[in-house]
Amino acid sequence: MARQPLGVLFGGKSNEYEVSLLSAAAVIPELDRAGIPRLALRADRDGRLFLFTGDAAAIAAGAAEEPAALVPASFTRGGVRLQNGETVPLSGVLPAVHGGMTEDGRLQGMLDWLAIPYAGSGAEACAVTMNKALTKTVLSSVGIPTAGGLALSVEDGADAIRRVEGTLPYPVFVKPARSGSSVGAGIARDRTELQARIADATATDRLVLFEPRIVGREIEVGVLSDENGRPAATPPGELFYDAGFYDYETKYAVGAKTRVPALLPTALSDELRELALSAFLALGCRHYARVDFFLPENGRPILNEVNALPGLTDKSMFPRLAAAMGVPFPALVRRLAAFATGATA
């Protein structure tokens, strides 16, 4: 009996659509090399689902929209239904998706409803980690240090400016509270820049997070479960870049330099790994995640964000962190596929 294919889902109604294509283009060839049957499932920018019959190179080249390679489809209980009425059962879904409408729990809740297993955190953990303000609340409640600041639902820009200036000194870091890949994020050094950064952020999300700008090293730690479902933290990695902060262009166009493992005292490295694992568990994450820290000059870590579906592109940090713990990219993809099908805990 033929094995049911794994669905690799990419795209979707997200401002990180292009990043998702790059993750899918990296994952699909590894599945093929491993002999794991798969279907490439592309959600367009309006959320419509298609079976993509092209290859990974076409996805990487941005040709995932080619009409000839698209077969309309829809999720159904246990699989996908194609335009001709055929229902294809899926062994599971590997979400190569990022950002709102895909990484925020809505996709995961739908898959749960349709009894389709999937890799990564469940609906609740995805919803919490996508909301950076809520993440801070949860982590602070268990004693994990996070950056200060405030979250505002911005309806009146002038009122937001008054409240921010009454709470934080300049420079202020401004970002949408429910987005990723630094989309809409930026630094405000004065009121004019604050007004502009609020406009950038609210183009993505009305809930905006305002934080003190933290100067220091940027350290990232992965958390990856083993074949028995036991999560473990990777060695920390460090980012180096020339931009004012780790913005979208630096992440995916220019690329940051990395050092994995980071050059840290053993005690500090162990502390970061312990904090990352504690955050993973406190937020209810599953299978894998990436935890980002600032390391100011005083050397005390500050947790910045938790990414429940970290990027798998050739410029992404998570695959490098996994490799540092002895799980190279081909093995990582196989493990994610096993998570997706329920073959591991």
* CATH assignment at residue 172: 3.30.1490.20
pLDDT number for residue 255 = 62
Judgement on whether residues 172 and 224 belong to the same structural domain of the protein:
no
Within a domain: residue 1? Answer: no
DSSP state of 146: B
Judgement on whether residues 228 and 261 belong to the same structural domain of the protein:
yes
Judgement on whether residues 137 and 165 belong to the same structural domain of the protein:
no
Judgement on whether residues 37 and 156 belong to the same structural domain of the protein:
no
SS3 category, 131: coil
Judgement on whether residues 189 and 92 belong to the same structural domain of the protein:
no
What is the chain's pLDDT, residue by residue, as a tens digit (345 residues)?
Answer: 468 999 999 998 887 889 899 999 999 999 999 999 999 999 998 889 999 999 888 888 876 677 878 999 999 999 999 999 999 999 999 999 998 778 899 999 999 999 999 999 999 999 999 999 999 999 999 999 998 888 998 887 788 899 999 999 999 999 988 876 567 889 999 999 999 999 999 888 889 999 998 889 999 999 999 988 999 999 999 999 775 554 455 444 556 789 999 999 999 999 999 999 999 999 999 999 999 999 998 778 999 999 999 999 988 999 999 999 999 999 999 999 999 998 765
Quick one: how far is CA 72 from the chain centroid?
27
Within a domain: residue 344? Answer: no
CA distance 60 to 314: 11
What range defines the domain where residue 204 resides?
A: 150-212
The token pair that represents 226 in the structure block: 């083993």
Within a domain: residue 168? Answer: yes
pLDDT number for residue 298 = 77
Within a domain: residue 286? Answer: yes
Judgement on whether residues 202 and 221 belong to the same structural domain of the protein:
no
Within a domain: residue 340? Answer: no
CA distance 271 to 273: 5
| Phi and psi at residue 334, to the nearest 5° | -60, -40
- Whose tokens are 């990777």? That residue is 234
Q: Domain count of the chain?
A: 3
Judgement on whether residues 137 and 14 belong to the same structural domain of the protein:
no
CATH number for the domain that contains residue 225: 3.30.470.20
Domain boundary among 166, 186, 212: 212
Q: What is the pTM of this model?
A: 0.89
Judgement on whether residues 184 and 75 belong to the same structural domain of the protein:
no
CA distance 74 to 51: 9
Question: Residues 21, 130, 273, CA angle at the centre, nearest 5°?
Answer: 95
Question: Residues 300, 305, 310, CA angle at the centre, nearest 5°?
Answer: 125
Judgement on whether residues 134 and 257 belong to the same structural domain of the protein:
yes
Domain boundary among 212, 238, 253: 212
Domain boundary among 186, 212, 238: 212
Total residue count of the chain as it appears in this document: 345
Judgement on whether residues 133 and 93 belong to the same structural domain of the protein:
no
Within a domain: residue 199? Answer: yes
Within a domain: residue 62? Answer: yes
Judgement on whether residues 258 and 278 belong to the same structural domain of the protein:
yes
Within a domain: residue 187? Answer: yes
CATH number for the domain that contains residue 54: 3.40.50.20
Judgement on whether residues 265 and 328 belong to the same structural domain of the protein:
yes
CA distance 250 to 244: 10
